[in-house]
Amino acid sequence: MTDAEVPKSPPAATTPDPLVIRSLEFDGPMATVDGWRPEPRLPEIAFAGRSNVGKSSLLNALVRRKAFARVSRTPGRTREINFFRVNEQFMLVDLPGYGYAKISKERKLAWRPLIASYMRNSPYLRGVVQLLDVRHDPTEDDRVMLDFLAELGVPTLLALTKVDKLGRVARAVRITDLCAAYGVDEDQVIPFSAHENIGRDELAEALTQLLNAGPWREEPEYVPRADGELAPRAIAIEAELEENED
């Protein structure tokens, strides 16, 4: 075979990014059950997990920013719900990490009503990503959270964090065991590592599917416009986007 006849391997296929971040805005925090929250008008995806599970790191990896959500040295500090607007299309909602041992019992339980009330009363909540550390069995708080999500019926993805801490074989065994413990199929969980950039695109793809799947419970069709009048939801958002383009 001459050189000319040697078949050339095709150029390496570059997979398109399932979630290109074009804009990212922090809208603000919701600190109490009756406290401020952004006007609900865009679909929301919320992120839940025990303190120190790696939530801020996962969010940073998801949006490909180094210091978007703060990676903390003092676990258990963020007690409020933070809202981030992505591409003027949807909201990433960072729920407070729960279960940190070194805070008072009262503060330890404060997350329950805040998170429960947010989830029950957010008309455009489209899904929840529940984070679990791949190395640990679920805590009592994880169980409470998972039971609550199941009772609510909200579409839920499980992200298993810090998989880089386990070798390949131990990781596979552990994922199988955890899926059995939670009663979910392996394709319903996303093994994730912020440190080794594992699972980012799978998570982004799964979120896109959740957002495209549409509502799982009835959503109001009318929302307040900037001038306070009610308008059909799709039209109100379109009008605002056009305004922003000017």
Ligand X SMILES: Nc1nc2c(ncn2[C@@H]2O[C@H](COP(=O)(O)OP(=O)(O)OP(=O)(O)O)[C@@H](O)[C@H]2O)c(=O)[nH]1
Residue numbers at the binding site for ligand X (CB under 6 A): 49, 51-57, 71-72, 75-76, 78, 97, 161-162, 164-165, 193-195
Closest CB 177 distance from ligand X, rounded Å: 19
Q: Which tokens sit at 81?
A: 């719900």
CB 175 within 8 A of CB 189: yes
Task: Give yes or no for residue 60 binding Mg ion (CB under 5 A).
Answer: no
The C-alpha atoms of residue 77 and residue 199 are separated, in whole angstroms, by 26
Closest CB 56 distance from ligand X, rounded Å: 3
- State the distance between the two ends of the chain, measured CA to CA, in whole angstroms: 62
Of 42, 56, 91, 211, the one binding Mg ion by CB under 5 A: 56
Task: Give yes or no for residue 82 binding Mg ion (CB under 5 A).
Answer: no
**Would you say 55 or 171 has its CB closer to Mg ion?**
55
**Would you say 162 or 233 has its CB closer to ligand X?**
162
User: In this structure, how many other beta carbons lie within 10 angstroms of the beta carbon of residue 11?
Assistant: 6
Determine the interface stretch with Mg ion among 54-62, 185-193, 203-211, 236-244 (rule: CB under 5 A): 54-62
User: In this structure, how many other beta carbons lie within 10 angstroms of the beta carbon of residue 27?
Assistant: 16
Determine the interface stretch with Mg ion among 48-56, 115-123, 141-149, 181-189 (rule: CB under 5 A): 48-56
Closest CB 150 distance from Mg ion, rounded Å: 24
Query: Which ranges constitute the DSSP H helices of the chain?
Result: 55-63, 105-109, 111-121, 140-152, 168-182, 200-213, 233-245
User: Residue number with the shortest CB distance to ligand X?
Assistant: 97
> Could you tell which of Mg ion, ligand X, none binds residue 191, using a CB distance below 5 to 8 A set by kind?
none
Q: Which long-range contacts (CB under 8 A, 24 or more apart) does 172-175 make?
A: 174/134, 174/135, 175/134
User: For binding to Mg ion (CB under 5 A), which residues are involved?
Assistant: 55-56
